[in-house]
Structure 1
Amino acid sequence: MQLTKFTHACVRLDKDGKALLIDPGSFSEDAAFERADAILVTHEHPDHLDVDRIKNLDAPVYTNAAVAAQLTELGDRVHVVEDGQAFDAAGFAIRAYGKDHAVILPELGVPCQNVGFLVEDAVYHPGDSFTQPDRAVHTNLVPVSGPWFSLAPAVEYARAVDSQQTLGIHDALLSPIGQGMFQRWLDGESGPYHLANPGDTFEIG
């Protein structure tokens, strides 16, 4: 399986000629939308969900109920999944984790639903949360910036998830200086940390 990093939180996984696209949002390059046999969306914020471009793709979408409500015109192409549910999408085995987006400000509470996805027991994408999978993974995707982000929970999350490597996502707001800083904080907390640029690819497994 191969992972391709796109801008911010979007990644694509390729296996056996099939492509699984995760969190294609408003920051994502057009190249991310060139092909997808299935799409996973963690939550409704536009940096993870570009409604118009997703509608132009002829692929099933797996997501939570709040996102599904924005994609009703896609009909039975949209599938609602919940915490603990295992399912297959385009030949990829997937398990869903969690239900809440991380809190941005305490007085606002939980801003929306959020579901993380573990693909092939190998790659875990938490969306905008530090919800942990219940098993070891090959590649843990670690958010490293955003209005809801703070360093201590990110380091604790990286330490807690048993992984062979970590890869930074949710990083569009960071300067090169910020990228380097998070590499220093996170490298070695659970395997090596990779500072990935859009278009970089990684072999998984």
Structure 2
Amino acid sequence: MKLTKYTHACVRLEKDGKVLLVDPGTFAEDEAFETADAILITHEHPDHVDADRLKSLDAPIYTNAGVAAQLGSLAERVQVVEGGQAFEAAGYAIRAYGKDHAIILPELGVPCQNIGFLIEDAVYHPGDSFTQPDRAVHTNLVPISGPWFSLPPAVEYTRSVAARQTIGIHDALLSPIGQGMMKRFLDNQPNPYVSLNPGDTLDLA
């Protein structure tokens, strides 16, 4: 399976000629929207879902009820999933985890629904949360910036998820200096941290 990172939280997976697109938001490059056999969306914030550009893709969308309610003309392509559910999309085996977005400010409470996706028991994308999968994974995607982000739970999340490697996502707000700082904190916790720039591709062996 091959993983390509795009700006911020968007990743594309390719396996057996099928493309799975995860969290194609407003920061993602146009290239990310060129093709997809299925789309996963963790939550409704525009940095994770760009409904206008999704109209160019004729692919089923798997997401939570909160996102489904906002997709308008795309609703006929949406399949609502919940945490704890296992399903198949474009030949990929997927499990959904959690239900809540991380809290940004205590007085605002939980801002919206959020589900993480474990793909092929190999790649885990938590969306905007530190919800953990219930099993070991090959590649753990860890958010490394954002208004809800805090370093201690990010480190604890990285330490707790049994993974062969960690890749930083949700990083559009970081300068190169900030990217380097997060690598220093998250590398070898205990798994190696891999820095990917937008457009970089990694083969998951």
Decide whether the 8 Å contact of 2:68 with 2:75 is kept in 1. no
Q: Secondary structure at the match of 2:87?
A: strand
* Superposition CA RMSD, Å: 0.7
Letter in 2 for 1:138: H
1:158 corresponds in structure 2 to 158
Q: Secondary structure at the match of 2:42?
A: coil
Return the alpha-carbon distance in structure 2 between the equivalents of residues 190 and 13 of structure 1.
25
Return the alpha-carbon distance in structure 1 between the equivalents of residues 100 and 14 of structure 2.
28
Residues 1:101 and 2:101 aligned together: yes
Instruction: Structure 1: state its 5+ residue gaps.
Output: none
Return the alpha-carbon distance in structure 2 between the equivalents of residues 190 and 65 of structure 1.
35
Deviation of 1:75 (Å): 4.0
TM-score, reference length from structure 2: 0.98
1:127 corresponds in structure 2 to 127
2:90 corresponds in structure 1 to 90
1:64 corresponds in structure 2 to 64
1:9 corresponds in structure 2 to 9
Letter in 1 for 2:144: V
Letter in 1 for 2:117: F
Q: Secondary structure at the match of 1:100?
A: coil
Deviation of 1:31 (Å): 0.2
Return the alpha-carbon distance in structure 1 between the equivalents of residues 129 and 190 of structure 2.
18
2:147 corresponds in structure 1 to 147
Instruction: Structure 2: state its 5+ residue gaps.
Output: none
Return the alpha-carbon distance in structure 2 between the equivalents of residues 203 and 176 of structure 1.
24
Decide whether the 8 Å contact of 2:8 with 2:28 is kept in 1. yes
Query: May I ask how many residue pairs the two structures share in their alignment?
Result: 205
Return the alpha-carbon distance in structure 2 between the equivalents of residues 110 and 158 of structure 1.
22
Letter in 1 for 2:30: D
Instruction: Report the identity percentage.
Output: 76
2:49 corresponds in structure 1 to 49
Return the alpha-carbon distance in structure 1 between the equivalents of residues 123 and 106 of structure 2.
30
Deviation of 1:204 (Å): 1.3
> CA offsets, 1:81-125, max 9 Å, x none?
001100000000000000000000001000000000000000000
Decide whether the 8 Å contact of 1:164 with 1:190 is kept in 2. no
Decide whether the 8 Å contact of 1:161 with 1:190 is kept in 2. no
Deviation of 1:74 (Å): 2.4
Return the alpha-carbon distance in structure 2 between the equivalents of residues 75 and 67 of structure 1.
9
